[in-house]
A and B are shown apart, each in its own frame.
Chain A
Amino acid sequence: MAEANPQKVFAPWEDPNQAPLIRFEGVTKKFGTFTAVDDLNLDIYRGEFFALLGPSGCGKTTLMRMLAGFEDPTMGKIWLDDVDVAPIPPNRRPVNMMFQSYALFPHLTVWDNIAFGLKRSDMPKDKIGDRVQEMLRLTRLEQFAKRKPHQISGGQRQRVALARSLAKAPKLLLLDEPLGALDKKLRQETQFELMDIQEKTGTTFVIVTHDQEEAMTVATRVAVMDHGKLVQVATPAGIYETPNSVYVADFIGEVNIIEGAAAPTGDGKVDIAFAEGAEPIHATIGEPVTAGQKVFFAIRPEKIHVGREPDPTRANRIRGKVHDIAYLGNISTYRVELETGQMISAQMTNARRLSRRDFTWEDEVWLSWTDTAGVVLTR
């Protein structure tokens, strides 16, 4: 795990002496009777690439707009660098935003777009040119400086928007679905570019996205939101490997959820009876459970081994029938129907050629996994 070497890993949230750059303190935002953000507490640290992740309407955009100053909290306080931002209007906050639509000024050239914020600051005129040039270089836009936004491609527009919002060297950069308008391939390239630029400038980034893959790729920490509340705040690995609820497990990636009754067997293990007559699932618990408590066993498809024979080295072995195979080239996803009726997804890398695969539709197979492969959730 990454946490093994605390001196080198960037994890200010684990250091009690670190002061956060942003602190949300009991922040609530209501629009009429609708509560967009509900009594939320959150610390974001300097230099972080923080992702707010959630379905549309979960309050993530409202949270970001409150940071920018376009919305005022109904209750609670937001601190930026130990200053209460409530009385500061958006044009005086050391915060810049990259808009989902990019919001580039169509009547200005790329150069003038990037210089726009600098011209509003007290930066001397001759310095502005240098700074714009620096931004153009950072975003590899030098040869497009004289073009208007409609004369460049979508990916280039995205970079202009980024350059413009970074030009004033804000303490905090907000990115509202910054890659939403790009096609998949360009999006993946741009994700790495974003991380690169974030590292080079050292600016704290807060990104809003509904794309879990994007959040996982770029972020130092991810906050999963639902109905105006934070469900879990953790590193991408933490969110994926140890989700704290069925909601998070289900939202991030693919997962099998099996509901059952817990029977603790001591030394942190638990047996989960999920169906009449079937052998219970052996699993390791994170939080204490009582005998007979209703629990959810969550396991990722790639953690399950599919084979003709049961794997004796793994604690759980269940028989089923292949119902469906989704062949994705590098991997295949098998949907296996258990004898008890449950449908389980399991993923295997296609290490051998397709013609050498030794089971197919309707074949009997064994699903095997270790007792630490999944997590036991109580909600």
Chain B
Amino acid sequence: MNLRRLALILVPYLWLMGFFLVPFLIVVKIALSDTAIAIPPYWPVLDLSAGWTGIKEFFSELDLENFIFLTEDSLYWKSYLSSLQIATISTFLTLLVGYPIAYAMAQAPDEWRPTLMMLVILPFWTSFLIRVYSWVGIIANEGLLNQFLLWTGLISEPLQIMNTPTAVYIGIVYTYLPFMILPIYATLEKMDGSLIEAAVDLGCSRGKAFWLVTLPLSRPGMIAGCFLVFIPALGEFVIPSLLGGSQTLMIGKVLWEEFFSNRDWPVAAAVAVVLLLLLVIPIVLFQRNQQKQEEAGR
């Protein structure tokens, strides 16, 4: 009985240990190492054959040098700040676009809902990379959007959208929209329609009823959606590198360049560790929110 329970609990913990904690500790270890022209490109490497003295020597070689370096070069904190800004703004934009869609879906007749749901999920069936890349064809100077606007005569010069933060916003909002829509839709869909009728019956206009009842009750969905968008957007690499050009500073891109172009694994690892810490804070906040919701729901 107790053994079975233990085994049940052990499975997810072993999984997390094996595929999250151990790799993370390796990354932390690399972040504390020095760059070396070697394979692997860092030093020291743990050599168990030297026994206890080897281990002691190994630990004495580790230092926080790389983390200190991150604070010295303004590129890093600027990238973190810029990433935070881009992630925050695009999360807000996604909420602005996603809420009305989720609301419309929840209001739609029952027989339409599976179709609408399908339409939201459908983009996932195409590769993420291809979907982001196809935006280049739309927003580039000679792309579909500019051609259309030039043709209508609204503009005489092509709009420079490509390689600007605007392009990154478009990319993130487009890509992460389903993650915003689905949790909001889930909360709106299970809401009792008679609540709105009750609000109207008690003297609210439809708009006021939405503001006083629907919006507060869909807050858990909005919070969940915002976290689901914000967290991956913060570390986003593909979208800024395909659409943002060299002007857009994002930490995901810096990380990639540090790792593949500079082959500076220790600094890249330090960047990753700091990014993870930046992400852990909102995740903890999110979980606390969830917990509160659960307690309130009981």
Question: Does residue B205 face the partner (Cβ distance < 8 Å to A)?
Answer: yes
Closest to A90 in B: B200
Partner of B195, one of A97, A105, A164, A165: A105
Cα–Cα, bound, A68→B213 (Å)? 19
**Interface segment, one of A3-11, A115-123, A300-308, A345-353:** A115-123
Partner of A70, one of B197, B199, B213: B197
Residues of A within 8 A of B194 (CB): 99-101, 103
Question: Does residue A187 face the partner (Cβ distance < 8 Å to B)?
Answer: no
Residues of A within 8 A of B203 (CB): 91-92, 117, 120-121, 168
Interface string of B207-234 (1 = CB under 8 A from A): 0100011001100000000000000000
Partner of A99, one of B198, B205, B208: B198
Q: How many residues of B contact A (CB 8 A)?
A: 20
Residues of B within 8 A of A116 (CB): 199, 202, 212
Cα–Cα, bound, A148→B199 (Å)? 17
Question: Does residue B242 face the partner (Cβ distance < 8 Å to A)?
Answer: no
Question: Does residue B297 face the partner (Cβ distance < 8 Å to A)?
Answer: yes
Residues of A within 8 A of B192 (CB): 101, 103
Question: Does residue A268 face the partner (Cβ distance < 8 Å to B)?
Answer: no
Residues of A within 8 A of B198 (CB): 97, 99, 103-105
Residues of A within 8 A of B129 (CB): none
Contact B217 A168 (CB under 8 A): no
B221 to chain A, nearest CB (A): 13
Interface size class of A (residues with CB under 8 A): 20 to 34
Interface string of B180-205 (1 = CB under 8 A from A): 00000000000010110111111111
Cα–Cα, bound, A267→B69 (Å)? 115
Cα–Cα, bound, A92→B197 (Å)? 13
Closest to B191 in A: A106
A121 to chain B, nearest CB (A): 6
Cα–Cα, bound, A89→B203 (Å)? 10
Given A99-B197, A101-B192, A103-B195, the answer on whether A117 and B202 have CB atoms closer than 8 Å is yes
Closest to A65 in B: B197
Partner of B298, one of A90, A97, A150, A168: A150
Residues of B within 8 A of A120 (CB): 202-204, 208
Cα–Cα, bound, A288→B2 (Å)? 81
A349 to chain B, nearest CB (A): 44
Contact B197 A103 (CB under 8 A): yes
Question: Does residue A356 face the partner (Cβ distance < 8 Å to B)?
Answer: no
Contact B216 A168 (CB under 8 A): no
Tell me the chain A residues, 82-124 only, with Cβ under 8 Å from chain B: 90-92, 95-97, 99-101, 103-107, 116-117, 120-121
Residues of A within 8 A of B199 (CB): 105, 116
Residues of A within 8 A of B213 (CB): 105
Given A91-B201, A101-B192, the answer on whether A107 and B208 have CB atoms closer than 8 Å is no
Contact B201 A90 (CB under 8 A): yes
Residues of B within 8 A of A107 (CB): 216-217
Contact A164 B202 (CB under 8 A): yes
Residues of A within 8 A of B212 (CB): 116
A278 to chain B, nearest CB (A): 55
Residues of B within 8 A of A91 (CB): 200-205
Interface string of A190-207 (1 = CB under 8 A from B): 000000000000000000
Residues of A within 8 A of B297 (CB): 150
Binding site for A on B (CB under 8 A): 192, 194-195, 197-205, 208, 212-213, 216-217, 296-298
Which 9 A-B residue pairs are closest in the complex by CB-CB distance? A120-B203, A117-B202, A103-B198, A103-B194, A99-B194, A107-B216, A97-B201, A91-B200, A91-B203
Q: List 14 A-B contacts (CB under 8 A).
A: A70-B197, A97-B201, A99-B197, A103-B197, A103-B198, A107-B216, A116-B202, A120-B203, A120-B204, A120-B208, A121-B203, A150-B297, A150-B298, A165-B202
Q: Other CB < 8 Å A-B pairs besides A91-B202, A95-B201, 5 of them? A: A90-B200, A99-B198, A101-B194, A105-B213, A150-B296
